[in-house]
Amino acid sequence: MGEPPENFSMVWKGIYRSGFPARRNLPFLRTIGVRSVLCLCPEEYPDSSLAFFESNGIALIQHGMDGNKAPDDRTGAFMAPEIVARAIGVLLDESTHPVLIHCNQGKHRTGCLVGCLRKVQRWSSVATFEEYRRFAGAKARLVDLQFIELFDTATALQPPQRANSRPSGKLLAQSELSDGRQPPTARQAAASGPGATAAA
């Protein structure tokens, strides 16, 4: 079965998140039936992982971007809203499901993308920011929360640019979640496989 990547969790039905999958994590992705991997890192993907994806029919979708940096950081790097919007389009396309989102540690870029997805789902800012902080921990960045707050969801709801994209329209808004359940653990996700229904 393998072990899950760092910071692995289910975001919603058919959508997972984590840090960068190491070689020891790849069998786990096969176990849960991952069909696509959405990588937010700009660096080239490891050849060994690419070979595993090819042999297991897993598509790699790379929307590489820099993470947000504090204003006093000399790199002056910020995430690109248009790339985030395209990445959300991937998540709304059911033909990519089950899909795994990842950056290096599954905290900042992944956290921002999931936070922007929650805005599309009409989650409250309080719940969205709490989820971000839960994964970022002591390394939470104010600039990330500002990015999520200012993200224009209209850019993510434009007609898809990919010819085979099919927006699902089935991601539920936070207001529809009333039972207080949490997403399944990695063990539960692996046990239920690709057809699992995510609780949130």
Active site (catalytic) residues: 103
* Residue 175, helix vs strand vs coil: helix
Q: Give Cα 149 to chain centroid, integer Å.
A: 17
Residue 13 · residue 198 · CB < 8 Å:
yes
How far, in Å, are 59, 79, 110, 147 from residue 132 at the CA level? 26, 16, 9, 12
Q: In the 8-state DSSP scheme, what is residue 18?
A: E
Q: In the 8-state DSSP scheme, what is residue 121?
A: T
Whether residue 98 has a cis bond before it, omega within 30° of 0: yes
> How large is the angle between the packed helices 81-92 and 109-120, nearest 10 degrees?
60
Q: For residue 196, give the amino acid letter.
A: A
Dist CA 185 CA 169 (whole Å): 25
Cβ-based neighbours of 179, under 8 Å, separated by 6 or more: 199
H-state helical runs in 93-185: 109-120, 125-136, 142-150, 153-156
